[in-house]
Amino acid sequence: MKRNIIIRIVSGILALTLIAGLLFVAGAFIGNPISLLIANRAAKDYVQENYAFLDLELEKAKYDFKTSNYWIRAISKTSKDTKFSIYYSNGKIIRDDYKSNVLSGFNTLYRLSQEYSLLAKDILNEELGYKNINISVIYGKEKYENTSDIVKLDMDFDRTLPLDPQIIIDIDLEDNSLEKISEILIDIHKVFLTNNCVFKEYSLYSENNKGKIVNINGVKPEDIESGELLQILIEAKDWEDKEKKEIQEKIDQGEAIERYERDSSQNGISIFIKE
């Protein structure tokens, strides 16, 4: 009888230890349930005190195991660009990113770039028949840092905004020769101009299941319109191959590698092709 009691006690202790261990591990990744409740309450009070005028809804607190902090997403019921995070740690709200995400125009620019990306994808789909293609439109960093007179909260998308948009085209290529790539860029540029979509710079990326990779950056409209795009790409590729060879030779000889600056004669174009 005593032996059975001892076995039960030991089993109970082991079970409790296992449960405690599982709770500890879970807490390390999803946070303490009590702390989550407190974080939710703290965020609610914080919004009431600081942002009552924004008509916000709060999502449930989430735990960031990398920083050991909790964060709560605040989303406006009436403004599509008003959304930001509130951060809680050690019993108090430590900061929010309302200024950096909303007031700075970051959220608005991100939404506009998403809308432009979708529009550009639809244009290429409908006019050139590109089905399996991904498009990312981004706005120039220099313009982004000074947009207060152009970018307004919740503004409608306008493809003519003077923000120097750049486009990244992710496309499947069966033929990754520079000849084919130059033809594709020329066709795409022509279609975009027809649809009043003006991009400051083109980048093209492709990777297929055969391991072939193409990564071309920095192609300007003037390169495409010059009538010499293929030759420009060939020269950029030759220059880059030469640079890589020189670097490898230095490495083989144990020499220090200096910082290489791209020669302006290459038009700032970088090309990587893996067959």
pLDDT at position 29 is 40
Domain assignment present for residue 173? The answer is yes
Name the domain boundary from 61, 77, 103: 103
pLDDT tens string 184-229: 999 999 999 999 999 999 999 998 867 789 999 999 999 999 999 9
98 and 167 share one domain: no
Mean pLDDT of 55-82: 94
- Range(s) of the domain holding residue 197: 106-274
pLDDT for the residue 255? 66
The predicted structure's pLDDT at residue 98: 98
Q: Are residues 58 and 153 in the same domain?
A: no
Same domain for 249 and 134: yes
238: amino acid identity, one letter: D
Quick one: pLDDT at residue 148?
76
Residue type at position 242: K
pLDDT in tens, 98-144: 999 999 999 999 999 999 999 999 999 999 999 889 999 999 777 76
* Same structural domain, 134 and 270: yes
Instruction: Provide the pLDDT confidence category of residue 258 given band limits of 50, 70 and 90.
Output: low
Distance CA 114, CA 136 (A): 7
The pLDDT confidence band at residue 157, using thresholds 50, 70 and 90, is very high
**Boundary of a domain, candidates 48, 79, 103:** 103
Domain boundary among 75, 103, 131: 103
Report field, pTM of the whole predicted structure over 0.85: no
Is 58 inside any structural domain?
A: yes
CA-closest candidate to residue 110, choices 73, 87, 84: 84
- 97 and 110 in a single domain? The answer is no
d(CA 122, CA 244): 38
Q: Is the same domain home to 155 and 261?
A: yes
What is the average pLDDT value for the chain, to the nearest integer? 85
Domains in the chain: how many in total? 2
pLDDT digits (tens, 9 = 90+) for 4-39: 555 555 555 554 454 444 444 444 444 578 989 999
Residues 221-257 have pLDDT tens digits of: 999 999 999 999 999 998 887 877 767 667 767 666 6
Average pLDDT over residues 46-74: 95
| 120 and 56 share one domain | no
Half-sphere exposure of 154 (CA within 13 A, CB side): 7
Domain check: are 88 and 213 in the same one? no
Rounded to the nearest angstrom, the gap between the alpha carbon of residue 194 and the centroid of all alpha carbons in its chain is 28
The verdict on residue 160 lying in a domain is: yes
Q: How far apart are CA 134 and CA 186, in angstroms?
A: 18
Tell me how far apart the alpha carbons of residues 237 and 271 are, in angstroms, rounded to a whole number. Answer: 6
